[in-house]
């Protein structure tokens, strides 16, 4: 009971402030000119990105360079955490050996439910990323949803189940590099014909086979999806190495 | 006149505030991670009411899934109870 007193004081303060401030704020009835510009131009208009989803067209077209640098921040964060967990070749092989306590895993119920849910998460994340130019969503959202699937497998089975089926750290890093490379290529292609970096229309076709793909937006979304999902997976695979194994490596290094 | 979406927004944000407070003062770190996940769900609903579906999709995956999992990994490498 005693520890709820600060909470009640906090709530009363916030309610009081809100009651005091709210009547003094000006009411926003009309759209601001900037918002009106994007709403009018993202699909129709002269500066069109040919995408009905305004947020994605701002992220990857109008303010594309911002997102490119955001991606590079994420890239550096992943590289930093991989450096913290660096292992040499022999240690990496040894970290893949199953330890005794992981032989069984969780119960059958959790395993079967996970098997169904993982497939559903993969489908939902792909739809979030690949429909990012039509409906809310996009590369980062889809990629972080994709990273949940290997995470669930790590929890319900073990990280060894992932590695035995081919998704080890090297594979995740290769997928991530493919994503980053693809993004860089899509950003640089307009330079070949003397246009601006990261230009969308009219270099990339707005429609492919009758389907609206909004030029470069779908490529950016797909490659970001790969890069984010695989980057998170690599970090989780390293975090899931048991502490015991790491301590063994450290003790051996101290003895040598 | 209070509109229903605004009332729902108020309730979800208060739930988020209460659970973030509980997450801060809780000494059992695993429980604290659970409280922070509940706070994240409440804020995700609040973002949805504020008509920001793009944020909801990123926020749910990161704050409920990845962030909680990262913290559980970290707790598994230290101790479960916070000793003052």
How far is residue B78's CA from residue B84's CA, in Å, rounded to a whole number?
Answer: 15
Question: Which of B11, B63, B55 lies closest to B33, judged by CA?
Answer: B63
Interchain contact, A232 vs B66, CB within 8 Å = yes
- For chain A, the residue count is 256
Token duo for residue A108:
């059958």
Give the CA-trace dihedral at A154, A160, A161, A165, to 10 degrees. 120
C-alpha B15/C-alpha B45 separation (Å) is 11
Distance in Å from the first CA to the final CA of chain A? 56
Nearest Cα of chain A lies from the Cα of B60 at a distance, in angstroms, of 9
The minimum CA-CA distance between A236 and chain B, rounded to whole Å, is 8
For B35-59, what is each residue's pLDDT tens digit? 999 999 999 999 999 989 989 999 9
Structure ipTM:
0.86
Residues 6+ apart with CB under 8 A from A182: A219, A222, A223, A226
Q: Which residue has the tokens 């009363």?
A: A12
List of chain B residues whose C-beta atoms are within 8 Å of the C-beta of residue A232: 66
Answer whether residue A43 is part of any domain: no
Gap between the Cα atoms of A224 and A205, Å rounded: 20
Is residue A5 assigned to a domain?
no
Model-level pTM greater than 0.90? no
Asked if the model's pLDDT at residue B2 lies above 70, the reply is no
- Cβ contact B53–A148 (<8 Å): no
Task: Name chain A contacts of B58, Cβ cutoff 8 Å.
Answer: 140-141, 144
Q: Which residue of A has its CA nearest to B19?
A: A7
**CA atoms of A105 and A154, how far apart (whole Å):** 10
Residue A164: predicted pLDDT = 86
The tens place of each residue's pLDDT in chain A, 256 residues long, gives 777 888 899 899 988 998 899 888 888 888 889 989 988 888 888 888 888 888 888 988 888 899 989 999 999 999 998 898 888 888 888 888 877 777 777 889 999 999 999 999 999 999 999 998 898 988 899 999 999 999 999 988 888 888 888 888 889 999 999 999 999 999 999 998 888 888 887 888 888 888 888 888 999 999 999 999 999 999 999 888 888 888 888 888 888 8
In this structure, is residue A66 part of a structural domain? yes
Q: Is residue A21 part of a domain?
A: no
Q: Do A14 and B17 touch (CB under 8 A)?
A: yes
Domain that holds residue A81: 52-255
For an interface test with B, give the residue of A217, A232, A244 to mutate (most B CBs within 10 A). A232
């Amino acid at each position: 009971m005693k520890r709820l007193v600060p909470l009640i004081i906090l709530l009363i303060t916030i309610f009081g402030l809100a009651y005091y401030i709210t009547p003094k704020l000006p009411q926003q009835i009309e759209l601001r000119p900037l918002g009106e510009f994007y709403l009018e131009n993202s699909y129709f208009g002269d500066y069109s990105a040919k995408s009905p989803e305004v947020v994605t067209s701002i992220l990857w077209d109008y303010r594309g360079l911002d997102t490119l640098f955001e991606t590079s921040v994420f890239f550096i964060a992943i590289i930093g955490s991989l450096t913290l967990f660096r292992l040499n070749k022999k240690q990496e092989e040894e970290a893949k050996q199953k330890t005794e306590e992981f032989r069984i895993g969780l119960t059958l119920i959790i395993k079967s439910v996970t098997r169904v849910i993982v497939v559903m998460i993969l489908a939902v994340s792909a739809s979030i990323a690949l429909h990012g130019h039509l409906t809310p969503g996009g590369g980062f959202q889809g990629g972080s949803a994709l990273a949940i699937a290997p995470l669930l497998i790590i929890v319900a089975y073990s990280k060894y189940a992932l590695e035995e089926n081919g998704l080890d750290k090297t594979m995740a890093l290769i997928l991530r590099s493919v994503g980053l490379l693809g993004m860089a290529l899509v950003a640089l292609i307009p330079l070949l014909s003397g246009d601006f970096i990261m230009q969308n229309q009219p270099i990339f076709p707005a429609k492919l086979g009758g389907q609206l793909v909004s030029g470069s937006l779908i490529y950016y979304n797909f490659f970001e999806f790969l890069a984010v999902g695989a980057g998170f997976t690599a970090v989780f695979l390293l975090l899931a190495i048991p502490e015991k194994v790491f301590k063994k490596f450290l003790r051996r290094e101290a003895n040598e | 006149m209070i509109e229903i979406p605004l009332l729902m927004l108020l309730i979800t944000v208060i739930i988020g505030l209460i659970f973030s407070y509980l997450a801060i003062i809780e000494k059992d770190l695993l429980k604290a991670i659970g409280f922070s996940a509940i706070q994240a769900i409440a804020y995700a609903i609040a973002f949805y009411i504020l008509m920001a579906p793009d944020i909801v999709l990123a926020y749910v995956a990161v704050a409920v899934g990845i962030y909680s999992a990262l913290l559980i990994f970290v707790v598994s490498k230290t101790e479960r109870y916070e000793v003052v």
